[in-house]
Structure 1
Amino acid sequence: MSSILKDVPKPIGEIRADLPRHLGRVIGRCLEKEPGRRYQSARELAVDLENLKRDGETGVPVAAAPVRPARPWARYGLMAAAAALLAAVALFIGGGLMSSQGQAIESIAVLPFENGTGDEESEYLCDGLTENLIASLSQLPELRVISRRSAFRFKNSVEDPREIGRQLDVQALVVGRVIQRGESLQISAELVNAADNSQLWGGRYDRRLADVVTIEHELVTTIAGALHHEFTGENASRLDRNREVDPEAYRLYLKARDLFVGSTREMKKGVEYLEQAIAIAPDFAPAYAALGDAFLTQAYHNVMDREEALRRSKEAVRKALEIDPELGDAYAVDSQIKLMFDWDWLGTEQSLRRAVELSPGSLLPRLAYGDFLTAMGRWDEVIEQSLMAKKLDPLSPSAAHWLAIGYLGKHDYDNAIAEFKTAVDLNPSWTWGYVKLAKTYADSGRCDQALATAEDAEAQLHGGSTPLARGWLGYTYAVCGAEKLVGDAFHELDTYAEHSYVDPLTYADIYCGLGDAENVLDKLEEGVDDRSPDAIYLPALPGLFFEELASEPRYQALIERMDFPTQTTSGAATVNP
């Protein structure tokens, strides 16, 4: 007994030379005489054993959990450590990580990594690392990963992880911190049980800035392994390819993505960064896909000559798929080109289905698919895709919005109102939420609420209304018989038209509210002649705005002219390409 308490035991390697060196270190820590140097819980020991097990299986070295200050329960001494070792060995031998309720972990959120440098220039690195972990882990078919938009609501949050887990409806969280000092980079990360705030895995990486891609690869595979998921086939190959990307090209790619949604100057700067990245790494497929997306955005907003922007967008997407035929992001961009500008309905859906197939856990392809299905008037499928998107993005108004549109197309006004309210609650400053909620109230015959909500929308607009918003509000005023406000809406559109293009379909929205079929059809024909981007929504008009339109011969002729799938009188597609 005296020897157990006082003498330092022989290193395990002297007794069993065949045991892994790192296992000897773990056993040695369990047998430390000083309580503060032993493992402080069975979970902490289990983390090191899990990491050791993956080392042996994958050959990837994983950082050990750090020695922590002694906790109150350390006084239980060596017997507690021995019991912890027995419990942890059972986990080491027998299975993967479990939630505190004993369930396998099947849902996680990657929270934005903290910028420990305190330098705004390092933000793109923290955000890019977080986004890429989300995108990579989303490739695992049995793991639900919360989308970027919901996860980034907790950027710099001080909320308890248990509360964040409850809001996102996940079992585990990935949290981390990035510190950059010149060319040195330190990244620490933890996998935390959202039920009880316990650590399931933890690691720290001290490397050069140029090694960020390698660190990201190790983090992804380690976290997947901790959850007993595995990258196989093409997903594993893509991870390996990404690991080989030139670090400077990758840095430029991350900086470019940070500028995609911004001013015209910022969008152009983003294109410059991507072109620089491609010059350094000509086989970097994600950079080409991002470049295609950037030019598509510029084409839609007329930031540059539309034909030239489309040509360059298509060229970039073609190159991305030539390098990596399994790149989901490239198919997502391709689908939007085909939908908005080529009017290739079958090609659009094929690209969207491929994008969803390749990136089942990614939000954007599902939202894009919901948009396409809305344009086609396929309301049941809109609802199906939106419900999937809502599971991936529970705290973003986008999924709630498309779900509401699906219900609105089916004239299920109560559910549509509920979802639009959810969208507004999630983002009270989102003007379109009020605009569309007002329209839904009007369609359901609740004009008092419709006009009150339209007033809220007008307050949000602050006199800065766009033609499209004015068209939707004009529809609401027309349905509710607010003649003066209808006249004001027409006048405002005419004023816009004096100095810039106004889509004829914007006028058509108001005429739908008035029940004026002839003027609606005149404006629809004018919009199709102009190749209006909003003309893609013609099949949805009977469900969303004017049900009687479906039986009009001139409307049917437009559907044939644009080669849409055949529509029923309710606006739902009878052909599912």
Structure 2
Amino acid sequence: MAEIIQFGDFKVNVRERLVQRADDLIALTPKAFDVLAFLAGRPGQLILKAELLAAVWPDVVVSDSTLKRTVSDLRTALGDGQDGVRLIETVPKFGYRFVGGPHTATEEPASETQPVPDVPARKRRVRFRSAKLLAAVAGMALLGVLGAAVWRGKFREPPVRSVAVLPFHMEGPERDEVAEAGIADTLVTQLSQIRNLEVRSIGAVSRYTGPDRDPVRAGRELQTDAVLEGTLHSVSGRWRVNLRLLSSRDGKARWTTSFDERSQDLLSLEDAIAERVYMAISAVVGGEYRRESHRGTMDAEAYRLYLEGRYLFGKRTEEGFGQSVQKFEQSIARDPNYADAHASLAEAILIRSGYGAMAQGSVMARVREEAGKAVALDPGLADPHRVLGLLAENYDYNRRAAESEYRRALEVAPNDAATHDYFGEFLGLTGRFDEAEREMRLAARLDPLSPVVQTDWAKVAMLARNYDVALERTQRVLDLNPAFPNVYTIRELVFAFTGRPEKSLAAQQEGVRLYGLKDHALGFSFVAATAARTWDAARYLAEAEEQQKTGMRWTAGISYARTVAWMNQPDRAIDLIEKTLRTHEAPGIVGLEVEPGWDPLRGHPRFQAAAEGNGCYGAGSGPPCRREDQNRAERRRLVSHASHPGNHALVSRGNRHFHAHEQHPSAPSAL
């Protein structure tokens, strides 16, 4: 085949896989390019459908409708039919003929630039039901942009290895913030499964909304190679989509494109759109794209309720979580087989439970049930595995199961910052500090502005007793978000365990103010106890007991045990620990072996037995775990010098693992 094909003002470079019109570069999906090259290389000839299918999809069984859509996309990109000029003619029932006018085909001398190899198509038909049409269309456009950036090798532009997809902006009076966030959320989820492309989380980009945002600044702050922004405008029953992919380095437009797409009967077209997205991703990006069959919903109202739930969930407030639970339940009522809704419901219930808004005894069974349904309906979802990991860690006390679920979630979605964060904190609580640092570093790279990730990273440093590092990390959070309450908990504990009780109390009080909580006496009692102010600790503890009678949080038991441990009441504290281990009634127990909050009990035989058994006898976990001797020795070394408050580090807070990525559900104390 000729390497350079020219017709009209178009130039097709087959070797470079470039299509130019005058001085403009046209972005095509890989299959659309292959169709163009095959047809344009045989001008005037009737190319049968079967012949074209065999040439472009040699190892995949696809339907005529796939070919029809690809040709339609190609015509749109080339402007076929504009000004009455036709490029590709359809011969009904037979095939297509290229009629692009004056035509030349030449060979191009070999150059140092190497062609981008095609990624082989999978040897099975891929059929999906994507979350929504608009996100899939936007995904196609973005992938075309990324592909163009890769193919433009001769311009020596750096490759795009990371991207931030900003919330879309709907123009006009009928702006829909739910749809704006929902389109970006689904697109982020889809693209995050490309193994050699980092995509910033929806939480990381959610702050960049509105028409006045600075996308280049956003890309730099998020530390990505490029940033995508898009606008949507509804015109006569169609969506007009405008996209720009901008370089975060210099603000240069790597590509811009505009296209129209019908908005009627969106869900009925999802299979076709998802198939095109899959082929574009696997071929253009060139990385492994692992996505099992994803079952969305064919019910438009169920989908809309799901989007509303995700929007409310993203507010990260107690009220928002409660409202999101209702929306997800309504979505499931419309479509009981909607896996995404089940997964989101499980996570929303779990986080909401940390506010004490639901009875703990029934909550975990409900969370497990919903997450299990999501996994059964769609094994390719990462979110339910992350939730099951939290359950195994915090309620089953089953470390092996927790680690397995976290790793499964990362296998499905390797670029998910939240899972790296959860897993990193889990590793820190079990004394595997090098691995924990690695996971937290990945989480911070994927979501560099997240105050939760930075705060949890500080927690890992404290668990490893690197106090100066922990304070440095908390200061980064304060520099960007001084009203983030979680960070004051970390600072409170750093100061408490390094002999600065006044600063510890000040941090505790600021956290209480920001949380707006009233049941803070237990936290005050712990600060007083670590400062050896036993009388104050006893007074606050008595107040906390009164609060418990009026509905105090169900995490109080294990927090109470920590406080009385520091008040030199070891038997009372260990009784509560043993009760928790038997009943599985509260989180925050997984770190018994390393958390400095338990240091006053280290020499007690009953505590040693509890710490050694913790995490081994999980629900259905079988015989006791056999920890590696190296890990045990390291944990013992770290706690062996904890003989006075200056050697102590962070105490795990009761329901810390249920952090929302803006608000934390538990009180700002050593819970």
Shorter-chain TM-score bucket reads 0.7 to 0.9
Query: 2:377 aligned to 323, 327, 332, which one?
Result: 323
d(CA) in 2 for partners of 1:194, 1:394: 15
Query: 2:166 aligned to 88, 111, 125, which one?
Result: 111
Q: Pick closer, same or farther for the CA change 1:25–1:371 going to 2, 3 Å.
A: closer
Q: Pick closer, same or farther for the CA change 1:572–1:333 going to 2, 3 Å.
A: farther
Q: How does 1:228-377 map to 2 (within 5 A)?
A: 228-230=284-286, 234-235=290-291, 237-238=292-293, 242=296, 245-260=298-313, 267=321, 270-278=324-332, 281-297=335-351, 303=357, 306=360, 308-377=362-431
Instruction: After superposition, give the CA deviation of every residue in 1:36-73 in whole Å (9 maximum; x if it has no partner).
Output: xxx5xxxxx12x1x32766224838276599xxxxxxx
Residue 428 of structure 1 pairs with residue 479 of structure 2: no
Conserved 8 A contact 2:226-2:248? yes
Q: Identify the residue that residue 7 of structure 1 maps to in structure 2.
A: none
Letter aligned with residue 328 of structure 1:
A
Q: Pick closer, same or farther for the CA change 1:417–1:265 going to 2, 3 Å.
A: closer
Aligned residues: 515
Letter aligned with residue 442 of structure 1:
A
Residue 486 of structure 1 pairs with residue 575 of structure 2: no
Give the match's secondary structure for 1:388: helix
Q: Pick closer, same or farther for the CA change 1:151–1:563 going to 2, 3 Å.
A: closer
Q: Identify the residue that residue 99 of structure 2 maps to in structure 1.
A: none
Q: How does 1:195-210 map to 2 (within 5 A)?
A: 195-201=249-255, 202-208=257-263, 210=265
TM-score by length of 1: 0.75
Q: Identify the residue that residue 532 of structure 1 maps to in structure 2.
A: 585
d(CA) in 1 for partners of 2:207, 2:317: 22
d(CA) in 2 for partners of 1:435, 1:367: 18
RMSD: 4.2
Instruction: After superposition, give the CA deviation of every residue in 1:430-456 in whole Å (9 maximum; x if it has no partner).
Output: 222112202102323344543443454
d(CA) in 2 for partners of 1:572, 1:177: 57
TM-score by length of 2: 0.66
d(CA) in 2 for partners of 1:353, 1:180: 42
Residue 568 of structure 1 pairs with residue 632 of structure 2: yes
d(CA) in 2 for partners of 1:65, 1:474: 71
Query: 2:526 aligned to 450, 475, 478, which one?
Result: 475
Q: Identify the residue that residue 438 of structure 2 maps to in structure 1.
A: 384
Letter aligned with residue 168 of structure 1:
L
Give the match's secondary structure for 2:448: coil
d(CA) in 2 for partners of 1:357, 1:499: 44
- Structure 1 unaligned segments of length 5 or more: list them: 1-10, 31-38, 40-44, 67-85
TM-superposed CA distance for 1:315, in Å, is 3.1
TM-superposed CA distance for 1:275, in Å, is 4.6
Residue 498 of structure 1 pairs with residue 549 of structure 2: yes
Q: In proportion to residue count, which structure has more helix?
A: 1
TM-superposed CA distance for 1:553, in Å, is 1.1
Instruction: After superposition, give the CA deviation of every residue in 1:105-162 in whole Å (9 maximum; x if it has no partner).
Output: 1111111112324446x21111011111111111111111122222112222735333
d(CA) in 1 for partners of 2:326, 2:547: 33
Higher relative contact order (CA 8 A, sep 6+): 2
Give the match's secondary structure for 2:243: strand
Query: 2:573 aligned to 520, 528, 538, which one?
Result: 520
- Structure 2 unaligned segments of length 5 or more: list them: 36-69, 80-107, 117-146, 617-624, 639-671
TM-superposed CA distance for 1:299, in Å, is 5.3
Q: Pick closer, same or farther for the CA change 1:181–1:562 going to 2, 3 Å.
A: farther
Query: 1:144 aligned to 198, 205, 212, which one?
Result: 198
Conserved 8 A contact 1:116-1:179? yes
d(CA) in 1 for partners of 2:18, 2:403: 56
TM-superposed CA distance for 1:247, in Å, is 3.9
d(CA) in 1 for partners of 2:569, 2:365: 39
Q: Pick closer, same or farther for the CA change 1:56–1:450 going to 2, 3 Å.
A: same
Give the match's secondary structure for 2:260: strand
TM-superposed CA distance for 1:360, in Å, is 0.3
Q: Identify the residue that residue 63 of structure 2 maps to in structure 1.
A: none
Give the match's secondary structure for 1:135: helix
Letter aligned with residue 368 of structure 1:
Y
Conserved 8 A contact 2:201-2:447? yes
